Structure 1
Amino acid sequence: MLERISITNFKAFARQDIGLAPFTLLTGLNSSGKSTVLQSLALLRQSHEAGLLDEADDSGGLLLNGDLVKLGTGQDVRHEAYTEDDPDITLAVVKGNIPYAWRARYGREDDLLSLLAGPGGPASWATRDLPSLFGQGFQYLKADRIVPDVSYPRSHDAAVRRSFLGARGEHTVNFLRAHQDDRVTAMSLRLPEGSSTSLLEATDYWMQRLCPGVNVAADDIRGTDTVRLSYGFGSGVSASNRYRPTNVGFGLTYALPIVVACVSAQPGSLILLENPEAHLHPQGQTWLAYLAVAAVSAGAQVVMETHSDHVLNGLRIAVKDGRIPAASTAVHFFRRNGQTAEVVSPAMGPDGMLGDWPKGFFDEWENSLEQLLD
């Protein structure tokens, strides 16, 4: 499990250390640095997949534009308040109290920032010592995810060989088609009444927490390189016809990659989620927190960016109910302070209560109520 990420001169941060737990929740106002944390991890993964993290010369570096993130050039990503004494960009993670750091030379127009030798880079050994970040169980789902459509791509490389859903979740339907009969062994993710649960059955169970009665199907479109997603409602004699995603609510398809990523989690998986609550009813948002807790109980590590107090409260309830220890959670509140961002980290107690409630931290409901009652 990753225990910490350190960011220097990258996007919102001049220098920032952020603790990571099995379930880490990133909250705060827009453009306050939450996405920078997820993008930092995705950037390391992207550069590793391109074979660029092992060499401290012109052949290696941080690849700013790829399948996971598209960040522009050096001038787009270097923090504006850098100092002349420390002009370069450094990303580091800690596992088992061992830091792994990559320091890259700033180039204004470069989209491949060359790694520097010496302290802070490159950590070439980390590719084998950080399997959650660089191995098979990695999932990164951006806020810009798939929408209802008549078909989705069929990629054997992504969905079968790499078990990757795609940064937009574009391979989710094909992944579900290929793996629907795989057995879900983690008790926390299986149907409560079932002694054995397939991936498709578990997906239906958690999707029904978001929309009661729904079930999904993923099928080949013969003679093409695409697959089809459909939804049904009810079962047995009460079962509905099958519906295209374009004829049901937008939120179901948007949330499907989140559900599949968590349901398919394995011990050692790393799941990065941006705004999973979007387009969902408040009850569904709370259940997404429960689902992420279930994935953590199955051995995964989840880092989630959210604007939802329902997600936060779902995590707090899960702690109070004993589904996850308070020590296995971290909550970070991001806010701007001049040119840089700062992070406040309220501690979670075993009763789900938070030790600090800084201004701007999910307090808008109380602010609005105060105005209504004034």
Structure 2
Amino acid sequence: MINKLKLNNFKCFQCQEVSFRDLTILTGINAAGKSSIVQALLLYERATETDEKEVLDASEILGIDIGSPKNLVSQNYTGESISDFDIAVNGDKLGFYIGKDSGLDLYAKGCGTKDIGNIAYLNAERIGPRMSYRAGGSERIRQDGSNAIYLMERADNLDMRIPEELILDKTYPKFSNQVECWMSLIMGNVVLKTSVDALKAQAELRISNEYTDDAVIPTLTGFGISYELSVVITGLWAATQENSLLIVENPEAHLHPSAQSRIGQFLAAVSATGTQVIVETHSEHVIDGARIQLYAMNQSGKFLTNFLFNSEKECMIKELIIEQDGELSDWPEGFFDQKQQDLRTMFMLRRKNGNN
């Protein structure tokens, strides 16, 4: 399990420590470093699996085109370091070096820890409704969730059992049935029908609910179901693995506020089974759902929110925990206070108009 991440000279961070618990929320203003924390973990995990002489393809690892690895180096670093940037997990540091000849090759040296676990990562740019999805290949979730349907079928074929705490229907504990149960809890009654075409290496999905008599293709159901289905499948899949780390960016995408709260509850429930969970979100509903779930389970101590903000050209972090009464330990300025600010502005406008 990750308890502490330390970043030196990495992107917006000059020298920063980041704390983690069983469930860690990363939130805050745009461009404050939330994604950089996730990217540091992805780089670190791959580097621990790679020989020191092997080039790391940062764009492939991060799932985005970053151009030259020089773009990962902080522009404001004032300290001294032999490496271009350092990433340490639980005190075990890896130094990252950019090849001097071309400036395009990235290497890592050091003794990395295995505490980081096996990462299941879903990025913010997940695949939406499609006629078909990827099948076959690795049993590791793709960053865009494009093989999630296949993994659900695979889990059924392997008779994979999820932890007891995540089973909503004990009569039919099959993996896909629990996916249906969680999707129905989050979004209303949802029935899933899947099939895999081995020759085409494609998985197909049909969806029905209380409003439709026949199952329909995903492209007729909007984005919400497709986006959240990959989150639920990946969360349950990660919960079946030992030493796993689930990272999800923007689980609230395309969801009504009530569904946002329930996906927060789901992710908190996953974290209570021994799978470490890191969530990057801009949704107060996701955070509220998560803290409600853990408070109800008497496991509030497993929750931590890292609120990121900018101060004097430097990225800063304020840690928020759940108090004994279920409330957050603090509500700093900029932490989901926009509604109050907007209401205050409206009040002032009404007063002004009333005086004219």
TM-score normalized by structure 2? 0.89
> In structure 1, how many angstroms separate the alpha carbons of the residues matched to 2:266 and 2:75?
38
Give 3-state SS (helix, strand or coil) of 2:227's partner: helix
Q: For residue 190 of structure 2, what is the amino acid of its counterpart? A: V
Asked if the contact 2:190–2:208 (Cα under 8 Å) also holds between the matched residues in 1, the reply is yes
Q: Does 1:153 align with 2:134?
A: yes
Give 3-state SS (helix, strand or coil) of 1:169's partner: coil
Q: 2:120 aligns with which of 139, 145, 148?
A: 139
Seen in structure 2, the aligned counterparts of structure 1 residues 315 and 211 have a Cα distance that, compared at 3 Å, is: closer
Q: 1:295 aligns with which of 266, 270, 274?
A: 270
Q: Does 1:89 align with 2:62?
A: no
Q: For residue 64 of structure 1, what is the amino acid of its counterpart? A: A
Q: Which residue in 2 is equivalent to 1:4?
A: 4
Q: For residue 12 of structure 1, what is the amino acid of its counterpart? A: C
Give the superposition deviation at 1:114. Answer: 2.7
Seen in structure 2, the aligned counterparts of structure 1 residues 196 and 230 have a Cα distance that, compared at 3 Å, is: closer
Seen in structure 2, the aligned counterparts of structure 1 residues 185 and 171 have a Cα distance that, compared at 3 Å, is: closer
Give the superposition deviation at 1:64. Answer: 1.4
Q: Which residue in 2 is equivalent to 1:351?
A: 325
> In structure 2, how many angstroms separate the alpha carbons of the residues matched to 1:166 and 1:46?
15
Q: 1:79 aligns with which of 65, 74, 85?
A: 74
Number of residues of Structure 1 aligned to a counterpart in Structure 2: 342
Seen in structure 2, the aligned counterparts of structure 1 residues 111 and 65 have a Cα distance that, compared at 3 Å, is: farther
> In structure 2, how many angstroms separate the alpha carbons of the residues matched to 1:324 and 1:338?
39
Give the superposition deviation at 1:65. Answer: 2.2
Q: Which residue in 2 is equivalent to 1:334?
A: 308
Q: Which residue in 1 is equivalent to 2:110?
A: 122
Q: Which residue in 2 is equivalent to 1:256?
A: 229
Give the superposition deviation at 1:344. Answer: 0.9
Q: For residue 186 of structure 1, what is the amino acid of its counterpart? A: P
Seen in structure 2, the aligned counterparts of structure 1 residues 171 and 67 have a Cα distance that, compared at 3 Å, is: farther
Seen in structure 2, the aligned counterparts of structure 1 residues 360 and 198 have a Cα distance that, compared at 3 Å, is: same
Cα shift readout 1:82-141 (whole Å, capped 9, x = no counterpart): 1362362000101xxxx21101224586343233xxxxx4115x3xx33x53x4xx2010
Give 3-state SS (helix, strand or coil) of 2:15's partner: strand
Structure 2: gaps spanning 5 or more residues? 349-356
Q: Give the superposed CA RMSD.
A: 2.1
Give the superposition deviation at 1:61. Answer: 5.5
Give the superposition deviation at 1:67. Answer: 4.6
Give 3-state SS (helix, strand or coil) of 1:241's partner: coil
Percentage of matched positions with identical amino acids: 27
Q: For residue 66 of structure 1, what is the amino acid of its counterpart? A: E
> In structure 1, how many angstroms separate the alpha carbons of the residues matched to 2:198 and 2:248?
32
Q: 1:172 aligns with which of 139, 143, 148?
A: 148
Q: Which residue in 2 is equivalent to 1:25?
A: 25
Give the superposition deviation at 1:44. Answer: 2.0
Q: Which residue in 1 is equivalent to 2:95?
A: 103
Give 3-state SS (helix, strand or coil) of 1:188's partner: helix
Seen in structure 2, the aligned counterparts of structure 1 residues 40 and 110 have a Cα distance that, compared at 3 Å, is: same
Asked if the contact 2:194–2:203 (Cα under 8 Å) also holds between the matched residues in 1, the reply is yes
Give the superposition deviation at 1:14. Answer: 0.6
TM-score normalized by structure 1? 0.85
Asked if the contact 1:319–1:351 (Cα under 8 Å) also holds between the matched residues in 2, the reply is no
Give the superposition deviation at 1:339. Answer: 3.1
Q: For residue 123 of structure 1, what is the amino acid of its counterpart? A: C
Q: Does 1:213 align with 2:189?
A: yes
Give 3-state SS (helix, strand or coil) of 2:193's partner: strand
Structure 1: gaps spanning 5 or more residues? 116-120
> In structure 1, how many angstroms separate the alpha carbons of the residues matched to 2:129 and 2:212?
22
> In structure 2, how many angstroms separate the alpha carbons of the residues matched to 1:166 and 1:350?
38
Give 3-state SS (helix, strand or coil) of 2:60's partner: coil
> In structure 1, how many angstroms separate the alpha carbons of the residues matched to 2:29 and 2:195?
40
Q: For residue 231 of structure 2, what is the amino acid of its counterpart? A: I
> In structure 2, how many angstroms separate the alpha carbons of the residues matched to 1:339 and 1:63?
29
Give the superposition deviation at 1:38. Answer: 0.7
Seen in structure 2, the aligned counterparts of structure 1 residues 164 and 365 have a Cα distance that, compared at 3 Å, is: same
> In structure 2, how many angstroms separate the alpha carbons of the residues matched to 1:180 and 1:111?
43
Asked if the contact 2:269–2:294 (Cα under 8 Å) also holds between the matched residues in 1, the reply is no
